[in-house]
Structure 1
Amino acid sequence: MNSAPTPSDAPGMIGDMPADGWIDRYVPSALRPYLKLMRLDRPIGTWLLLFPCWWSITLANADGTLSVWRWLYLMVLFGIGALVMRGAGCTVNDLFDRDIDARVARTAMRPLACGAVSVRQALWFLALQLLIGLAVLVQLNKQTVVLGACSLLLVGVYPLMKRLTHWPQAWLGLTFNWGALLGWVAVQGRIDWPPVVLYVAGLFWTLGYDTIYAHQDKDDDVQVGVKSTALALGERTQLFLWLFYGLTIGLMVLTGVLVGLHWLAWPLLVLAGAHLAWQAVVVRIDDSAHCLYLFRSNRLFGWLVLAAFAAGAML
C-alpha cells in the first residue's frame, strides 16, 4: 500500500484541486465549476502543451523568416490556443471518465464527477472552447489550419486509450506534442525533418513525465480497471525513465543539428538533460506527492529547452 501523502491529503488541496484557490476567491460562483473543469487553476498541463509549440516556432525562425513582432504574435497566439485547447481536452477527458473519477479519491471532486456541472452543460462549454480554438487557428496559414484540425482526432480518442492499452501515455505524447508540427508549419508553411524529430522527442518526454504522474493513481486504477504505463512498468519505471529521457535529449540534439543551431544551444541543452536525469535519479514511485512534484518540475525543463533553442537560433 502507498503510505505516502496523496494529493487529496495534501494541505490546501481538495482531491487534485487547490482548496480556496484564486478561482474560489475571485470568480463568481456560477463560473467556478467551468474554470475548474478546464483546469485553469492547475496550469502545468497548459505549459506542457505549449512548450512544443514555442520550441518549434523558435526553431523554424532560425533563418530569420519572421520579424520580431511577428514571432511574438505567434508565440502569444499559440499561448491562447494552448490554454483553450488544453481546457477542451480536459473537458473531453472528464466527460468520458466522470464515472471513473467519482470512484477515485484524487478526482472525485472534479466538476463532472461530483455533479457541479451536468453533461449537457459540459458539452456546451466544450463547444465554446472549440470555437475559441478555431478562432485562434484561422489566424494562421491554411496548412496550419488543416494540420490543427487533424489534432482533434487525437484529442477525442485519448480518453479511450486507458481502457484499451497499458500505454495511454504514448497516445498522450502524440496529442500533447502536436504543436511541434504546428509551430513549424505556421512559420514555414510546410513540414520538414526538424519538427518531425522534435515531435518524436516530445513523445518520449511525455512518456517519462506522465508515467511519473500515473504512479499517483496506480492503486485506484487497478480497482476501477483502467491501464497505464505506471502499472505496466511497475518497479522498472526508473530504468525506463532513463530510456525515455535519454531519447528525448538525443532527439532534441539531432533536431538542433538539423536546424544548424549555434553552439550556445548545447550547454543549455545539457542543463535540460541534467534536469531530466535528476528526475530519473530521485523518483520515488510509491510517494504520490513526490511524483506530482516531479511532474510539475517539467515546466523548468520546458524553459531550459526554449532558452537553448532561442540562443541557438538567434545566433
Structure 2
Amino acid sequence: MEYARKIGSKIKLYGELVMFSHTLFSLPFAMISMIWAAGGLPSSRIMLWGLIALIAARNGANAFNRVVDRVFDEQNPRTAHRHLPRKLLDAKEVLVFVVVNYAIFIFSAAMLNTLCFILSPVAIFLISSYSYTKRFTFLSHLYLGFSIASAPIGAWFAVTGKFAFTPFILGTVVMLWIAGFDIIYGSQDIDFDRSHGLWSIPSFFGLKNGLRIAAGLHAIMVLLLIALIPIRHLGWLYILGIIIAIALLMVEHRIIKPSNRKRMNIASYNLNQVISMVILFCTMGDFFLL
C-alpha cells in the first residue's frame, strides 16, 4: 500500500512538472487536423498512436525545459516554487524521464508511418532547442509557438503520410496564438529577464509595446482562422467558434496586469484553454453536423 502511494505521488509530481493539463493547448488543434485529413474520424490505430506521440513529445519537451532552466527558476521568485528548485525531483531523474518520453515518441511515430518516423528526430530537436532560445533572442516566444505548431502538422502527417497546405495554416495559427499569450505571460518577468541577460519581447520592447505585439499576433491568428473558411468550406458553426474566440481574446487582453499573478494565469492559461476547446467543438460540430 505504501509502495503504491509513493508511485502515485511520483506520478503526480511529474504531472505537475510538465503541466499535463496544458495539453489542451495543442491537442484540440491536432484533433482538428486529424479529422480534416481523414475526412472524418481516423482509425483507432492512428488516434491511439497519434495521441501517445503527442503526449510523449510534450512531456519530454516540458521536462527538458525545466532541467535547462532550473538555475534561473531558482533565482526567480515567481518560479522558485517549482519542483527542481525545491528539490522535489532530481535533475538526473528528470532527464531519464525525458529520454523515456522521447523514445516513446519515436516508437509511436514509427507505428504511424514512415514520414512521421523520419521527421521525429527533427521534431525532438525543435521542441528541445526552444529551451535555449531565451538566452539569445527575443523571438523565443515565436519559436515556442513554432515548436508547438508541430502538433497539428504532425497529426496531418500521421493520417495521410503526405505534405499538404492546410496543416501549415493550422500550424501557423497555433504558432501565433501560443506566441501571443506567452508574451503576455512573460511580461511578469521583465525586470528579472533584464537583470539576468534573458531575452523576451516584453523585456526588449517594453511592457506596452510587448502587449501590442501580442495583440497583433492574435489578430493575425484570427485572420488565418477566417481564411480557412473558404479553403475548408466551413459553415456557420465554425464561424460562431471564431466569434467566441475573438470575444475571449479581447477579455484576455483587457484583464492583463503583470503584478497580479492570478489574473495573469487566467489571461495566459485558463482563457486560452477555453479558446482551444471552443474552436475544437465548433469545428467538429460544423464538420459532423452541418
TM-score (norm. length: structure 2) = 0.87
Give me the whole-angstrom Cα distance separating, in 1, the residues matched to 2:279 and 2:144: 20
Give me the whole-angstrom Cα distance separating, in 2, the residues matched to 1:230 and 1:43: 26
Q: Which residue of 1 aligns with 2:234?
A: 261
Root-mean-square deviation (Å): 2.6
Deviations for 1:239-290, whole angstroms, at most 9, x for unmatched residues? 2233111111111122232122234321222212221122123322332221
Q: Does residue 165 of structure 2 align to residue 165 of structure 1? A: no
Q: Which residue of 2 aligns with 1:174?
A: 146
Q: 1:54 aligns with which of 21, 31, 42?
A: 31
Identity %: 21
Say whether the 8 Å CA contact 1:38–1:86 is kept in structure 2: no
Deviating 4+ runs (over 6 angstroms): none
Give me the whole-angstrom Cα distance separating, in 1, the residues matched to 2:139 and 2:120: 24
How far has the Cα of 1:178 moved from its partner?
A: 0.6
Q: Which residue of 2 aligns with 1:183?
A: 155
Instruction: Summarize the Cα distance change of 1:179–1:238 in structure 2 as closer, same or farther, 3 Å threshold.
Output: same
Q: 2:260 aligns with which of 283, 287, 293?
A: 287
Give me the whole-angstrom Cα distance separating, in 2, the residues matched to 1:247 and 1:231: 22
How far has the Cα of 1:164 moved from its partner?
A: 0.5
Say whether the 8 Å CA contact 2:27–2:151 is kept in structure 1: yes
Amino acid at match of 1:271: I
How far has the Cα of 1:137 moved from its partner?
A: 2.1
Aligned residues: 286
Structure 2 gap ranges (5+): none
Instruction: Summarize the Cα distance change of 1:27–1:43 in structure 2 as closer, same or farther, 3 Å threshold.
Output: farther
Instruction: Summarize the Cα distance change of 1:291–1:73 in structure 2 as closer, same or farther, 3 Å threshold.
Output: farther
Q: Which residue of 2 aligns with 1:10?
A: none
Say whether the 8 Å CA contact 2:69–2:131 is kept in structure 1: yes
Pairs within 5 Å for 1:197-216: 197-216=169-188
TM-score (norm. length: structure 1) = 0.81
Q: Which residue of 2 aligns with 1:196?
A: 168
Which fold has the larger relative contact order, with Cα–Cα distance below 8 Å and residues 6 or more apart in sequence?
A: 1
Structure 1 gap ranges (5+): 1-25
Amino acid at match of 2:63: T
Say whether the 8 Å CA contact 1:98–1:112 is kept in structure 2: yes
How far has the Cα of 1:163 moved from its partner?
A: 0.4
Instruction: Summarize the Cα distance change of 1:105–1:78 in structure 2 as closer, same or farther, 3 Å threshold.
Output: farther
Amino acid at match of 2:61: G
Pairs within 5 Å for 1:19-30: 28-29=5-6
Q: Which residue of 2 aligns with 1:5?
A: none
Instruction: Summarize the Cα distance change of 1:216–1:33 in structure 2 as closer, same or farther, 3 Å threshold.
Output: farther
Give me the whole-angstrom Cα distance separating, in 2, the residues matched to 1:27 and 1:222: 45
Q: 1:90 aligns with which of 41, 62, 65?
A: 62
Amino acid at match of 2:75: R
Larger mean Cα displacement after TM superposition, 83-92 or 296-305: 83-92
Give me the whole-angstrom Cα distance separating, in 2, the residues matched to 1:147 and 1:200: 18
How far has the Cα of 1:69 moved from its partner?
A: 6.5
Q: Which residue of 2 aligns with 1:309?
A: 283
Say whether the 8 Å CA contact 1:238–1:281 is kept in structure 2: no
Give me the whole-angstrom Cα distance separating, in 1, the residues matched to 2:235 and 2:65: 41
